[in-house]
Amino acid sequence: MNNFKYLNTNFINLTIVSIIPFLIWGPFFPDLIVSISALYFLFYVFKNKEFYFFNNKPLIIFFIFCIYCILLSIFVAEDMMLSFESSLFYFRIGVFSCFIWYLIDKDKDILTFFYYTLVLCFSALVIDGYVQYFTGFNLVGFKIPGIRVSSFFRDELIMGSYLSRLFPLLFALFLVKKKQNFEIYLIGLLFILVDILVFLSGERSAFFFLNLSTIFIIILIKEYQKFRLVTFIIAIISVFILSLNSSKLNQRMFKGPIEDMGITNNSKEFIIFSNAHDSLIRTAYNMFKDKPVLGHGPKMFRIICENEKYATGVYACSTHPHNFYIQLLAETGIVGFSFLFCALVYVIYTALKQFKTIIFKQKRHITDYQVCLLAGILITVWPLVPNGNFFNNWLMIIYSLPVGFYLQSIYSKKS
């Protein structure tokens, strides 16, 4: 019986951890695993009356936000059924984060499962990505799209996003794992290669997020601070050399964004990120001004942006305005916007408390492990960078992972 329970636990752990490689394949299987896990965990919580998993401020606020979005879909959205696609089952993301918390409490071995899975996936992308960069084709024959390395993601240019958003979780698990010296050197090499590969992906937001989370971590951690600083400096020097030797990469990652924003050409009008982003953001802002409190309803930007009343610029319409905060202002109003803004305030407040303890040499407010997880949350709630659709399944699954680990470390009875 004990062996059966052990096998059952390992099966669940492996199933959940399989999300990491499945995210490279696409959103279907990760979303299926998340949805089934959420239903299973809800059944478990109600059956065993273990409601303490949901009895914490972050989850309560999140579930209020979900209910609010559903109400908007019913009473505000022009197309209720389309809006429901984003709002109706969005709560599963929070439930899944709690399920991660539950699994860690039940069996700490899942931390090791996640760690080695992340290392293997990152290593596979590093090997395949550099093969694609130097030969023009990856290991299974996918051609490099232009100058941007995509590896197994093929024409969907999100490899950099995958690496940058999961990197803080990898670093957090690296910190709590028992390590041999040779493993530290191998992970250091992996970190350097990942940093450079994100640059080679040509994803400007991903490169920014990776640098932001790395600086955040270096400033606020104690153990392995110099280790990460050295690997980061080596990577930055390598990126600088690559940019000098590749005018196309330099244009894509540095010169292009500066020129797009009108900084170097003495333009009287400031452009937000690029002409396309500027148009989308200004269109969304016009939508917000029309319905500032409640917005137009989840997933409604793609429909209403075509309205001449709101559309502006050269590229006024898309599936979303490419910024979480602007999207929430347009679709959920100032009320929905405030939920995400509160998360940003929490991250900044916690980071400042941690920084204060460092300056005054007091007991640290949070552990190094928690700092890394908080860095993963920071790049989710950071406002001043273009990003994807707030209700996108692929993105939300990635974002839910560090939240689950963080909740367990803060609120768990077994921490």
So what's the pLDDT on residue 269?
Answer: 64
Q: Which helix (H) or strand (E) holds 345?
A: helix 324-359
pLDDT given at position 415: 52
Give the whole-angstrom CA distance, residue 91 versus residue 94: 6
CA distances from 25 to 18, 127, 255 (A): 11, 17, 32
Helices and strands in the chain, H and E counts: 18, 0
Q: Residue with structure tokens 């799209």?
A: 145
Q: What pLDDT is recorded for position 258?
A: 76
Cβ distance 408 to 105 under 8 Å?
Answer: yes
Q: Residue 410: its pLDDT value, please?
A: 93
pLDDT score recorded for residue 2 = 46
User: Distance between CA atoms of 150 and 112, rounded to whole angstroms?
Assistant: 28
* 108, two tokens: 């700490």
Q: Residue 75 corresponds to which tokens in the numbers above?
A: 């009473």
| d(C-alpha 166, C-alpha 191), whole Å | 12
Partner residues linked to 137 by β-bridges: 143
Minimal CA–CA distance to 209: which of 219, 199, 224? 199
Give pLDDT, residue 315. Answer: 86
**CA-to-CA dists, residue 232 to 46, 75, 166, 204, 328, angstroms:** 46, 49, 16, 17, 34
Task: Give the angle 357-360-363 at the CA atoms, nearest 5°.
Answer: 40
pLDDT for 246 equals: 84
Identify whether the C-beta of residue 357 lies closer than 8 Å to the C-beta of residue 363. yes
pLDDT of residue 270: 63
The domain ranges of the chain are 2-262+316-411
What are the CA-CA distances from residue 330 to residues 41, 153, 287, 292, 302 (Å)?
A: 33, 31, 5, 8, 11
pLDDT at 414: 58
Residues of the chain whose pLDDT is less than 50? 1-7
Q: Which amino acid is it at 251?
A: Q
